[in-house]
Structures are given as structure tokens and as C-alpha cells.
């Protein structure tokens, strides 16, 4: 006779022992099943039939005894090889059908093929063919709750046949069915047996058992009767020999499934579940959405203000130093920077231009229109020093400067406030502090402002005109100095400092300030502020991650049975791990994308409110990556928990 497919030697199974009384459920089972057999295992409820079937199907391990499958000791197989056996050799049919509730009939049938790495087209076709063969052609898209008991059982038979189903293990397949559906299922099994499938049918019903060609009777965990010895087994032609299965086990278990198909299926399953529980999903995602959105918005606001500061620096030049008199000590009068000082500074090699400024706010009139503006007396270096050209008309000349001519160059806002948008101001007169000045030019718009000062509300007149006609003094209020090189402002500052100390008899009665330093200091405070806000946002991301972990732990608990079903159909531990990890990742990716969209909306709102924001791809990508990483990190623990579940325990859990 050929090698038995299944050979049990003195198999024992005991439950309990440590905290509960030890119960021996199987007490020394010896059994051989050959290719092509149709066996019924019959016995009263509680006699240990299901326990036996779980051991036969490699869902459970015996406490002692030896199980040889196609001559190979099952105890020596690792979890991947056991998964291979469940996937390629066995097909399970359970009393309670054990279909995955969230998947359609076709998807349920396809599951074993996904774990076997069958390409999608082939497995769709095979699933549809099997369902059609079992009379379910019009029900392929139905979910289990939309099918009758008999139909569900036929779906589970189709699933058992998906990868071949050489050995069909059916545990009370008719137990939950009405007599008509039960008879249908039985004739199906009969047909499969005659096609060469090994059928192991478990039942408490002798009438049902009588359909099999061999009946094994168990009572209290022992075999008490076996008709095998009296009935010779017929050998149909197509049946698979033990040796062939053995060869395939030796080769095939190490083969890797098609991870791409599995991943796709895992993502589809994840998406379906998220959609079914969409309210819960949305609530969980809120944490990640808020986290990502706040990180992105914070970074954008920080970047926006940084860019604004940079723009200001560029607008006014970062190479400019300001010099003005100061009290050396509280008792002495403020020092005076004279025009001679200005001339001496102009001689320094590090200095490109030097410009004395005398100025103040004055009332400016034009007809009935009277408004205050900042009026500054400057020399002709003004456009170069402040990098501020005239766009209409011209700047005053050296001759105007020398003679103190009453001419004015006006800022954009002065032009619009005094002359409106349409009148040409050139040649018009403005009364500045009751002195008439003729407008000869209009400055370009700076658009920059610091505090309440708007740089475009400015009137520029020749230094001598301002000194004599408007302010009545000779000495400058302050001096603007353009260094040759914006990278060497410090060096220039030191040189000016040395020169002035010398000229002021060693007294430090002047002050040198630098726009760049001020602006940089401001940028630094803004930086640390946005860093702090970023940290707060990161914490909310963390909280979001914990939310993901929570929902994942919950789904693992809820779906323990589904995990058991997947394992019974041949999923390896890493398939389960992948399934749950991809759910976590998909969840957090969805949260990340939603968060980014929300952030962009908030950013748009802020822009409309006049706050400068700048979204950088790096910030968006970074936040998204953080969200996905959160999903992976926090999803890993629940996923591992799911993967390590014991198949039988998972399958029988409530």
C-alpha cells in the first residue's frame, strides 16, 4: 500500500493543568488516512472530534504523540511550513462557516490564493469559476451577511478548494444548516470525494457519517471503531499521491508569496474596514490630522516671517551702519557727529558711501490737503545707500545739493496721498513746513515697513535745504554709512569706531548700529518661537500616533477571529503582520494627507488675513513622513500581537 497521507501515532491532547484541572481530551489516537479516502469521524458531542480535526489541520499541536504528514514529522515543521500545509494541502470547512464578514463572497474565496501568491487575474477567474460551480454565480459580490447559511457554507467550500483542497477537513459542515441545504453540502462533498479529494468529515450524526466510505468512531478521546479494515479503499485516478505532496512541501514552503498582491489585498482590506468604521476612523485620525496640520502651519508661519525679515534686509541693505551722537555719561551733553566727522568717515577705505541725514515729521500741504510726513535731508547718495531708485522724474543733482535748492523727491505713498493716482506730481509744489518745494521725482515703492513707519511715506530733500530751510541746524541727526562689503560690516564698524574715538578725544559719545544685526536678532527670536510651536505640534502628532495604536489594538481584539480564519487559510505570521501594519500606515497616511490639506487651507486663510506664510516642500514632506512613521511605530505592536496569535485560539475566540 502507498504511504499514508496522514499518520497519527498515540496522539494525546490535554487542556488545563496549571490553574485549572487537567482534562485529557484525546487519549492516544492512532489513525492512518490514505490518498483518495472519504472518512467520517463520528462521535458524541464533547468526544474530542474538533480537537482532533484542529490537530489534523495543523491549527493546533498535540500534547504528545507523533503526527506524520506524507511521511514528514509535523512537530519539526516551522510556522511557515505549517502555514504552507494549511494553504496548499488542506481546505477547511467549519460548522460556523468562518467567512470574513467585511469581504465579499469572491474575496473570501480568493484569500488562500492571495497567500499562495497567485496572480490577480488567475485568482479572480478561479474564484468565479468555483462559485459558479457551486451555484453561486449571481452572489459573488455579496458579503456573508447577505447570504443564507447554505450559501455561506458553499462559499467556504469554494474557499477550501481555491488552492486545490487536496484534503478537505469539514467539521460538522451541516450542523448549522436546514436539512435541504445540508443534503446539498453532503452531495457536494460526495462529488469532491469521487474526484479524488481526501475528505475528512467530522459529525455527530451517524446518518451523515454513513455517506462516507470509511467511518471512524471516537468516544471520550479514543478510537472505538474503524470500518477501514473491512472496506477496501477505491483509488480514483486523479488523486494526489502522498509523495508528490511531500515533494511540494519540501520545495514549496520556502517559496515566497507574491508580496505585491498581498500588499494590495492588505491595503484594500484596510480601506474597506476603515470605510465600514468611518466614524471611528475619522475620530482616531483627528489626532494625526491636527498634528500634521499644526506642524505644517507652524513651520510655514515661521518660514514666512523669516522670509519677510530677509526681504527687509534686502530692501534696506544689510551693509548699512547708522551713526548718531550719544551721552557718554549721564552728566555730559550728547555728543555731536559733525560734518567734518562725516567727511573723515568718507575717507575710510572700508566705506563706500557716507550720507548725513537731518530729518523729522513735518506737516505737508498741497491746496487744502495737509498731512504729516517724514521729511529727510540727504545728500545725493540716497538712491545708492538705500538701494532706492527714482522711477519717475529724477533725483536732485550735486548742484541742487550744494545750493540747498528747494526741490523734493517723494515716496509712493506721499504721491498717492497728496496727488491721487492720476495727477502727475512732477513740477507741482508742496508746502513743507510753509516752505514751498518743487517735486522733481518719485521714488520706487519699497513696500517695507517697520512698526508704524511706512517707508513709502517719505520726502527726500537736499541736505542743505533741509538743514537751513526746514530744521535750522548744521549737524546731521544721524549718519548712514554704506560699507563696501556686506560680509565685512563688523570690520567697517570697528574702523569707524576707532576713527571717531580719535576725533572725539577718546570719548565714546556716539553710537553705531547696524540694521542687519537688529533684523537678525529679530529673526532669531522668531525662530525660537516657531521651534517651540513646532515642538507643541510634534506632541500632538505623538498623541495622534497613540490614537492609531489604540484603534489598532481594538481592531486586533475585534478581529481575532478574522486573524484565525486568515491563518486557517494559510496566512503566515508575516502576512498578518503586513496586513495590520499596512492598515496602520494607510490610516496615518490618510491622516497625513488630510492634515496637509487642512494646513494649506489654514495657510490660505492666514495669507488673506495678511500674515506671511511660506509652505516649503521639505516641511510638508517632513510632517507627512513623521505621520507615516508614527503609524508604523505605533502600529507595529498591535500588528505583532495579531501575528503571534495561536490559530486555534484566534479561530475559536468570540
47 touches, from Mg ion, ligand ADP, none (C-beta below 5 to 8 Å by class) = ligand ADP
Is residue 530 near Mg ion by the rule CB under 5 A? no
Q: Report d(CA 211, CA 338) in Å as an integer.
A: 120
Query: What is the rounded distance in angstroms from the CA atom of residue 158 to the CA atom of residue 97?
Result: 11
User: Could you give the CA distance from residue 467 to residue 358 in angstroms, rounded to a whole number?
Assistant: 7
CA atoms 260, 262, 267, 271: torsion sign: positive
Residues 360, 363, 364, 370, CA torsion sign: positive
48 binds, among Mg ion, ligand ADP, none (CB under 5 to 8 A by kind): ligand ADP
Nearer to Mg ion (CB atom), residue 41 or residue 467: 41
Q: Which does 366 bind (CB under 5 to 8 A by kind): ligand ADP, Mg ion, none?
A: none
- Cα–Cα distance, 456 to 373 (Å, whole number): 10
Q: In this complex, which beta carbon is closest to Mg ion, that of residue 170 or of residue 461? A: 170
Give the count of beta carbons closer than 10 Å to the beta carbon of residue 463.
26
Q: Closer to Mg ion by CB, 50 or 104: give it.
A: 50
- Work out how close the CB of 533 gets to ligand ADP at its nearest, in angstroms, rounded to a whole number: 54
Task: Give the residue with the Cβ less far from ligand ADP, 50 or 455.
Answer: 50
Cα–chain center distance at 234: 60
For Mg ion, the closer CB: 95 or 338: 95
- Could you tell me if 95 and 175 are in contact, meaning their C-beta atoms sit under 8 angstroms apart? yes
Select from Mg ion, ligand ADP, none the partner in contact with residue 560, using the beta carbon and a kind-dependent cut-off of 5 to 8 Å. none
**Residue 578, contacted partner among Mg ion, ligand ADP, none, CB below 5-8 A by kind:** none
Residue 598 and residue 620 in contact, taking contact as beta carbons nearer than 8 Å: no
Q: Which is nearer to ligand ADP, 50 or 579 (CB)?
A: 50
Spell out the residues 6+ positions from residue 628 whose beta carbon is closer than 8 angstroms to its own: 585, 588, 589, 592
Which region, left, alpha or beta, applies to residue 12 given φ > 0 means left and ψ of -120 to 50 means alpha? beta
Distance of CA 481 to the CA centre of its chain: 52
Burial (CB count within 10 angstroms: exposed 0-12, middle 13-18, buried 19+), residue 498: exposed
User: For residues 119 and 261, is the Cβ–Cβ distance under 8 A?
Assistant: yes
Residue 447's binding partner out of ligand ADP, Mg ion, none, with CB under 5 to 8 Å set by partner kind: none
Q: How far apart are CA 280 and CA 245, in angstroms?
A: 46
The nearer residue to Mg ion, 50 or 151, going by C-beta atoms, is: 50
Residue 41 or 443: which CB sits closer to ligand ADP? 41
> Is residue 402 within the footprint of ligand ADP (CB under 6 A)?
no
Q: Which is nearer to ligand ADP, 110 or 171 (CB)?
A: 171
Q: How far is the CB of 193 from ligand ADP (least distance, A)?
A: 22
Q: 207: part of which helix (H) or strand (E)?
A: helix 206-209
Taking residues 270 to 309 in sequence order and writing x for each that binds Mg ion by CB under 5 A, - otherwise, the string is ----------------------------------------
Q: Which residue has the cell 492634515?
A: 595
How many chain residues are in contact with ligand ADP, going by CB under 6 A? 12
Q: How far is the CB of 51 from ligand ADP (least distance, A)?
A: 3
- The string over 94-120, giving b where at least 16 C-beta atoms fall within 10 Å of a residue's C-beta and e elsewhere, is bbbbbbbebbbbbbbbbbbbbbbbbee
x/- map, 45-84, ligand ADP, by CB under 6 A: xxxxxxx---------------------------------
In a 10 Å sphere around its CB, with 0-12 CB exposed, 13-18 middle and 19+ buried, how is residue 629 labelled?
middle
Shortest spacing between CB 67 and ligand ADP, in angstroms: 16
Residue count at the site for Mg ion (CB under 5 A)?
A: 1
Q: Which residue number, 49 or 154, has a Cβ lying nearer to ligand ADP?
A: 49
From the centroid of its chain, how far is CA 12?
A: 50
Minimum Å distance from CB 49 to Mg ion? 5
Residue 50 makes contact with Mg ion by CB under 5 A: yes
Minimum CB distance to ligand ADP smaller for 47 or for 514: 47
Q: Which does 23 bind (CB under 5 to 8 A by kind): ligand ADP, Mg ion, none?
A: ligand ADP
Nearest to 123 by CA among 138, 107, 136: 107
305 binds, among Mg ion, ligand ADP, none (CB under 5 to 8 A by kind): none
**Residue 546: which of ligand ADP, Mg ion, none does it interact with, CB under 5 to 8 A by kind?**
none
The CB-of-208 to Mg ion minimum distance in angstroms stands at 14
Query: Which of ligand ADP, Mg ion, none has residue 51 at its interface (CB below 5 to 8 Å by kind)?
Result: ligand ADP
Site string for ligand ADP, 22-51 (x = CB under 6 A): -x-x-----------------x-xxxxxxx
Q: Specify whether the CB–CB gap between 216 and 56 falls below 8 A.
A: no
> Whose Cβ is closer to ligand ADP: residue 45's or residue 452's?
45
Kind plus residue range of the DSSP H or E element containing 438: strand 435-443
Residue 312: in which H helix or E strand, if any?
A: helix 278-316
What is the 8-class DSSP label of residue 395?
P
CA 362 to chain centre: 58
Judged by the rule CB under 6 A, the positions of this chain that interact with ligand ADP are 15-16, 23, 25, 43, 45-51
Judged by the rule CB under 5 A, the positions of this chain that interact with Mg ion are 50
Amino acid at each position: 500500500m502507498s504511504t499514508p497521507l496522514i499518520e497519527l501515532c498515540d496522539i494525546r491532547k490535554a487542556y488545563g493543568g496549571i490553574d485549572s484541572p487537567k482534562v485529557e481530551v484525546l487519549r492516544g489516537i492512532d489513525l492512518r488516512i490514505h490518498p483518495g479516502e472519504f472518512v467520517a469521524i463520528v462521535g458524541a458531542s464533547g468526544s474530542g472530534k474538533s480537537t482532533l480535526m484542529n490537530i489534523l489541520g495543523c491549527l493546533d499541536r498535540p500534547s504528545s504523540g507523533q503526527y506524520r504528514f506524507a511521511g514528514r514529522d509535523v512537530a519539526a515543521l516551522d510556522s511557515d511550513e505549517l502555514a504552507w500545509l494549511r494553504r496548499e494541502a488542506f481546505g477547511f470547512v467549519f460548522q460556523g462557516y468562518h467567512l470574513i464578514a467585511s469581504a465579499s463572497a469572491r474575496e473570501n474565496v480568493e484569500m488562500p490564493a492571495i497567500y499562495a501568491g497567485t496572480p490577480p487575474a488567475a485568482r479572480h477567474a478561479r474564484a468565479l469559476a468555483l462559485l459558479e460551480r457551486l451555484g453561486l454565480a449571481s452572489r459573488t459580490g455579496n458579503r456573508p451577511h447577505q447570504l443564507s447559511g447554505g450559501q455561506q457554507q458553499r462559499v467556504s467550500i469554494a474557499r477550501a478548494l481555491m488552492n486545490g483542497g487536496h484534503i478537505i477537513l469539514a467539521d460538522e459542515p451541516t450542523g448549522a444548516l436546514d436539512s435541504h441545504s445540508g443534503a446539498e453540502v453532503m452531495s457536494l462533498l460526495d462529488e469532491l470525494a469521487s474526484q479524488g479529494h481526501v475528505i475528512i468529515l467530522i459529525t455527530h450524526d451517524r446518518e451523515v457519517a454513513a455517506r462516507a466510505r470509511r467511518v471512524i468512531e471516537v468516544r471520550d478521546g479514543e478510537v472505538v471503531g474503524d470500518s477501514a479494515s473491512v472496506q477496501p479503499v477505491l483509488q480514483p485516478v486523479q488523486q494526489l499521491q502522498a509523495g508528490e505532496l511531500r515533494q511540494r512541501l519540501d520545495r514549496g514552503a520556502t517559496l515566497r508569496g507574491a508580496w505585491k498582491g498581498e500588499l494590495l489585498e492588505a491595503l484594500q482590506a484596510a480601506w474597506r474596514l476603515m470605510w465600514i468604521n468611518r466614524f471611528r476612523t475619522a475620530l482616531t485620525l483627528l489626532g494625526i490630522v491636527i498634528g500634521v496640520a499644526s506642524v505644517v502651519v507652524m513651520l510655514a508661519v515661521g518660514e514666512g516671517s523669516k522670509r519677510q525679515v530677509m526681504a527687509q534686509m534686502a530692501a534696506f541693505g544689510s551693509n548699512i551702519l547708522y551713526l548718531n551722537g550719544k551721552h557718554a555719561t549721564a552728566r555730559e551733553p550728547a555728543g555731536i557727529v559733525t560734518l567734518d566727522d562725516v567727511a573723515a568717515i568718507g575717507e575710510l577705505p572700508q566705506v563706500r558711501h557716507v550720507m548725513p541725514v537731518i530729518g523729522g515729521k513735518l506737516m505737508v500741504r498741497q491746496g487744502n490737503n495737509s498731512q504729516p510726513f517724514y521729511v529727510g535731508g540727504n545728500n545725493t547718495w540716497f538712491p545708492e545707500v538705500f538701494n532706492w531708485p527714482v522711477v519717475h522724474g529724477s533725483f536732485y543733482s550735486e548742484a541742487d545739493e550744494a545750493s540747498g535748492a528747494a526741490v523734493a523727491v517723494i515716496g509712493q505713498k506721499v504721491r498717492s496721498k497728496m496727488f491721487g493716482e492720476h495727477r502727475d506730481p512732477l513740477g507741482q509744489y508742496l508746502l513743507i513746513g510753509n516752505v514751498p518745494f518743487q517735486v522733481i521725482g518719485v521714488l520706487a515703492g519699497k513696500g517695507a515697513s517697520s512698526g508704524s513707519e511706512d517707508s513709502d511715506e517719505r520726502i527726500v530733500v537736499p541736505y542743505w535745504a533741509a538743514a537751513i530751510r526746514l530744521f535750522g541746524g548744521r549737524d546731521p541727526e544721524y549718519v548712514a554709512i554704506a560699507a563696501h562689503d556686506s560680509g565685512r560690516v563688523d570690520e567697517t564698524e570697528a574702523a569707524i569706531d576707532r576713527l571717531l574715538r580719535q576725533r572725539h578725544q577718546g570719548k565714546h559719545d556716539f553710537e553705531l548700529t547696524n540694521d542687519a544685526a537688529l533684523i537678525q536678532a529679530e529673526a532669531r527670536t522668531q525662530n525660537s518661537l516657531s521651534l517651540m510651536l513646532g515642538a507643541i505640534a510634534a506632541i500632538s502628532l505623538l498623541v495622534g500616533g497613540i490614537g492609531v495604536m489604540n484603534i489598532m489594538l481594538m481592531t486586533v481584539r475585534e478581529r481575532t477571529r478574522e486573524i484565525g480564519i486568515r491563518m486557517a487559510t494559510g496566512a503566515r505570521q508575516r502576512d498578518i503582520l503586513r496586513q495590520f501594519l499596512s492598515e496602520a500606515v494607510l490610516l496615518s497616511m490618510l491622516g497625513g494627507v488630510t492634515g496637509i490639506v487642512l494646513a494649506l487651507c489654514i495657510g490660505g486663510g492666514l495669507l488673506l488675513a495678511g500674515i506671511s506664510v511660506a509652505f516649503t516642500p521639505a516641511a510638508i514632506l517632513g510632517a507627512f513622513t513623521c505621520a507615516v512613521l508614527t503609524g508604523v511605530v505605533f502600529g507595529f505592536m498591535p500588528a505583532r500581537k495579531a501575528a503571534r496569535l495561536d490559530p486555534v485560539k484566534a479561530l475559536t475566540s468570540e
